[in-house]
Chains A and B, each alone.
Chain A
Amino acid sequence: MSSKKTITMEHGAGGQFMQELIGGMILKNITQRSAGTVGLDDLDDGSTISLPEELEDGAELVMTTDSHVVDPLFFPGGDIGKLAVCGTVNDLTVMGARPLALTCAIILPEGFELSVFEDIMKSMNLAAEEAGVAIITGDTKTIQGNKLDSMVINTTGVGIAPKVIRDNGLSAGDTIIVTGNLGDHGIALLSHREGFDFETKLVSDVSPVNDLLKGPLSLRTEDNQPVITAMKDPTRGGLASSINEMAQKSGVGIVLEESDIPVDMAVNTACEMLGLNPLEIANEGKAVIGVRPEYAEEVLELLRSHKYGANARIVGKAVSENTGKVLLRTSIGSLRQLGMPVGDPIPRVC
């Protein structure tokens, strides 16, 4: 590596500096670099993915993409690199797919510190190793520092789904399960960014959920259908956004028991103080699952036996009334509607 300590425009110019950046920062730090005969090391115009030899009838390739920007780049529990891997792995997983490979396209502003960049690459690698997914091709671009003030990472993922799971597959009677405490990511990020000092350390939940959901996804009914009828990862907009979308697209109503929805005490306190609704806060390592009711306990047990699913809970069920709406049964027995969030959560004044 040359003596440069920060990104310059030359790092994106396609010449020697760029080769050094790719070799010294990216290839060096990514351990799983191939998913077929042509991989990241080949630095060819593209890479290949070998398909599994035995495929279920009706299996499909699933593809998803996500661009990641986050302020700050490093936060309690994670950073933009981990987020970029988990975000895409989780999108594939909630479609019922096993992730096969990721791409990684990075846009860096001039002046970005190379040591920080390397830390982010290492973190991406750890997350990819945990998820068992290769990063097989990528791109780097640089932008003048006054036009972009932080880095952007886009990851595209390809996975294979024996049976695709959609977000519109709920039927009346299905049990709704969430895989753990809600709101951790958004509140950890907000309190870290704004310098709030709550007594308990709030940590983002950013993590890959593919291993957590592997067991439940493999469960089949007697007629060989997945017992999971619908699934979503409650990222931006939190549970409120995901569950409303599931209700609307599936044409069912949903009743949730408010006191059964798992929210960490510290997150709840922070939300109360800031006037935020934890159900509208982003998660980065959770899933909302619709399950055929007779398999709900089995799915719950599988989830709870995994380190990321210890706080999984049955939170409610799909019903045939109030189509497209989500209702919360409160602790005083009334029902209130859980609406779709409007925009970014904005803290209240007092």
Chain B
Amino acid sequence: MSAESELLDKIRDISRPVRIMHICGTHERTISKYSMRDVLPEEIEVLSGPGCPVCVTPEQEIDRAIALAESGVILTSFGDMMRVPGSNGSLMEARSRGADVRMVYSIDDAIAIAEKEPESKVVFFAIGFETTAPTNAAAVLRKPPGNFSLLLSHKLTIPAMNELIDEIEVDAFIAPGHVCTIIGIHPFDQFAEKGFPVIAAGFEADELLLSILMVLEQQRSGNHTVENAYPRAVKNEGNRRAQEMMEKVFEVIDSDWRGIGTIKDSGMKLRPEFAMYDAAVIYEDLINEKVKDISYENSASSLCRCAEILKGKEKPSDCPLFTKKCNPANPVGSCMVSQEGMCYNWYRYRGVEDA
């Protein structure tokens, strides 16, 4: 008997009605890849929270990146960011109109371009949660060349959870393993204190099933604490060095999240002493000039239900656009764009019944 089926049996033994939210795109990918929802008891609902950095990047920030790309800089970006729609198309469409947009796998690739092409200005579109931010902080501390800068759109997990916690209709959380390797598990204590079991989980099928089982066990015994189900990667205190680097390079600011709006203290900017690497500072006038006439009142994504889906209040199938106007080939909201997005995963991997 495999580890997975043993865990499934144990889950079935102590199953009870519960709504569990994970906050991680990679968790959603594993859950969907194994059609885990189909084999779990029906009373166990697994919901996908705002855990995909690509999904929560708002149109405004994509528009700013496109504005830069169209003004002649080399704009470098992670691949899955390139299909995400801004208010006037995506970075990929900007590239087809002639902008120099290049896909990179890390900030180091972007710096290598800047070193190789000293006559060009190279901007790295820095997105992601606490997982990608330390790498970018480290790169800034290594003093990249002067023709290189970052357009920052980092987001922080804990403030977003805090924003949602009072509205959200869930009973427990699976905390994102990658984020926990950086920040540790203690930042989640506050949610346990409010009554939510929180389990930091890894990304294999058995690790996720184990974390679901641990939620059920906490509920059965009336507990609500933070537990580490991913000790092979996560230290309870996190990665101190990464935390220090982030602290040194970035300062916390309010930030806009697609589908949610502005969340206090949920983003980051470069500290003033690193302003020479801050594309938002270097190209401020140029960006503002380009985006000043864009209205976000009636944008495409205002039609979609990203917000409710990210908050766990609705499922992709509740959205009137889902599979009709919004699908992977023609995404409206970014939950459909990224492979980590809940809509994309529902679309790609749904089981037999809904397929």
Interface residues of A (CB under 8 A from B): 194, 196, 274-275, 322, 325, 327, 330-337, 339, 342-343, 346-350
- Closest chain A residue to B53 by CB distance? A349
Q: What count of chain B residues pass the 8 Å CB interface test?
A: 45
The A contact surface, by secondary structure, is loop
Nearest-Cβ distance from residue B276 to partner chain A, whole angstroms: 26
The reply to whether the CB of B339 lies closer than 8 angstroms to some CB of chain A is yes
- Closest chain A residue to B8 by CB distance? A332
Given contacts A275-B29, A336-B32, contact A349 B127 (CB under 8 A): yes
B35, B338, B348: the one within 8 Å of A348 (CB): B338
- Closest chain B residue to A334 by CB distance? B35
Contacts of A327 in B (CB 8 A): 352, 355
- In the complex, the answer to whether A334 meets B329 with C-beta atoms within 8 Å is no
- Closest chain B residue to A329 by CB distance? B35
- In the complex, the answer to whether B33 meets A346 with C-beta atoms within 8 Å is no
Interface residues of B (CB under 8 A from A): 2, 4-5, 8, 25-26, 29, 32-36, 38-39, 53-54, 78-83, 103, 105, 109, 127-129, 131-132, 178, 205, 209, 328-329, 338-340, 347-352, 355
Nearest-Cβ distance from residue B154 to partner chain A, whole angstroms: 12
- In the complex, the answer to whether A335 meets B35 with C-beta atoms within 8 Å is yes
B2, B128, B347, B349 pick with most chain A CB within 10 angstroms: B349
Contacts of B25 in A (CB 8 A): 348
- In the complex, the answer to whether A342 meets B339 with C-beta atoms within 8 Å is no
- In the complex, the answer to whether B79 meets A346 with C-beta atoms within 8 Å is yes
A194, A275, A332, A335: the one within 8 Å of B205 (CB): A332
A325, A327, A337, A343 pick with most chain B CB within 10 angstroms: A337
- In the complex, the answer to whether A349 meets B78 with C-beta atoms within 8 Å is yes
A327 to B35, CA, bound (A): 11
- In the complex, the answer to whether B38 meets A348 with C-beta atoms within 8 Å is no
Contacts of B328 in A (CB 8 A): 342
- In the complex, the answer to whether B352 meets A322 with C-beta atoms within 8 Å is yes
A196, A332, A333, A348 pick with most chain B CB within 10 angstroms: A332
A335 to B340, CA, bound (A): 20
- In the complex, the answer to whether A335 meets B128 with C-beta atoms within 8 Å is no
- Closest chain A residue to B79 by CB distance? A346
A196 to B53, CA, bound (A): 24
Nearest-Cβ distance from residue B287 to partner chain A, whole angstroms: 23
- In the complex, the answer to whether A331 meets B4 with C-beta atoms within 8 Å is yes
B127, B340, B352 pick with most chain A CB within 10 angstroms: B352
Nearest-Cβ distance from residue B80 to partner chain A, whole angstroms: 5
A325, A332, A333, A346: the one within 8 Å of B355 (CB): A325
Given contacts A331-B2, A334-B36, contact A350 B132 (CB under 8 A): yes
Given contacts A342-B328, A346-B82, A349-B78, contact A336 B35 (CB under 8 A): yes
Contacts of B5 in A (CB 8 A): 332-333
Contacts of A330 in B (CB 8 A): 33-35
- In the complex, the answer to whether B80 meets A337 with C-beta atoms within 8 Å is no
